[in-house]
Structure 1
């Protein structure tokens, strides 16, 4: 069986080249949301620390986990270089566990879409609920159903600080509108002096949500006071918003 959403070594390296700190609008939005926040925050799927480290630098108490050892190693190295030693562990959405509760859980950008099955996603929301203290807040960014529409192949390239050429080719291989799920096969390559020296193939599987559908899912998992904003702005969602941010209380 093919492993999906693996984020291997080349994918992790490209992630950092493509999404340096502050490159996406979510970081400023979430920093503003948690400004002066006094409690503990859990970031599931923290990746290479693109959000986690800025939160630490803002003086916040952040714990993170990620299933990819390559992404997690990058996060640990970034934090150490900045003088931080947060609690970082290799865990998955499906079965993460802590012996303590948190005051907030934050899932930025589209990380939650990597849970590509409806039933699994509901179980994860219940697990989030169980790991929050009473009154704790869950903040999740989600991408909407328009992402399922046909899209051109994704072809991009980057040059590393060492001069290697990294290339990416992403091809949509499956779209299931009933399950609201898409699969894309990514081929990553490293070229050095015109010679291919490394290649990897990763399959990305993601599930996308309707706005009211996800609100109902949060309520079914036990959350209340659900609010939704769009476009990383403090306003209701609008047509054309590629990311919606949900906030809910345990």
Structure 2
């Protein structure tokens, strides 16, 4: 089952809208203001970050594996009178025949790479010398600490839609602790005004996680030098083993 198709694509923005303005948007804006040039957002999806960055005057192209997410991005761009350069492809093999000043992998996109070391080596080849790589990753603390039931379905999110319908996503996960892989099954539901399920979609994701030390080691082996890191999107918090979210900016040596 492919990710980000059908209801998963259609409901993506509705679920994210409940979170308010993306916390990474301000961070990406600041990064690109200090490092101008052509950037590529990897996993741009429906343009949740890409389009606001374009509105702020940055030169950012988008790469996305899901055709349906790209169609949603194009539709939103047209409504904003924007004309983004969008690419459909796999981040691990994408080759545009040029290099970028920066690569952006927000929203834990990097963790979807089946071979993180190979992906980083490929990203290095896509960057100009001294180009910057931005990525955020998370450690599944709730799953690791058994705060969420492994092997059982639980409601992950529910939201009301403007047309009176509602939507929900239920999740069932399992952990491969040895290889640090979190496998999530998602069941997306579209409910009518009476609360009955009108449509349903299933998808599966495999996400890899890393300790801060492991992530730094992967970057160094792939030719990157970490120049900035923060924990949980808070510049005041140290990046240590207690961090649940780690954001890193690294430079291609």
Tell me the TM-score normalised to structure 1 length. 0.89
Match of 1:197 in 2: 198
Q: 1:112–1:140: 8 Å Cα contact kept in structure 2?
A: yes
- 1:187 is matched with which residue? 187
Aligned to 1:48: 46
Aligned partner of residue 178 in structure 2, secondary structure: coil
Structure 1: any 5+ residue segments left out of the alignment?
none
Higher alpha-carbon deviation: 188-197 or 174-183:
188-197
- CA deviations on 1:200-239 (whole Å, 9 max, x unpaired) are 1111211111101011101111112443211223343256
In 2, distance between residues paired with 1:237 and 1:161?
A: 40
Check if 1:8 corresponds to 2:5.
Answer: yes
C-alpha displacement at 1:9, in angstroms?
A: 2.2
**Which residue is 2:219 aligned to?**
218
Matched, 1:247 2:249: yes
Alignment pair present for 1:144 and 2:139: yes
Quote the residue 1:131 is aligned against.
Answer: 126
Partner residue in 2 for 1:161: 162
Alignment of 1:18 onto 2:15: yes
What is the root-mean-square deviation in Å for CA atoms of aligned residues?
2.0
CA drift of 1:38 comes to 2.1
CA distance in 1 between counterparts of 2:203 and 2:140 reads 23
1:38 aligns with 2:36: yes
Distance 1:198 1:244 in 2: 36
Q: Which runs of 5+ in 2 are unaligned?
A: none
CA deviation string 1:145-200 (max 9, x = no partner): 5354132433432222222221211111x210111001111111222243433111
Where do residues 57-96 of structure 1 align in structure 2 (5 Å cutoff)? 57-96=55-94
| CA distance in structure 1 between the partners assigned to 2:242 and 2:10 by the alignment | 30
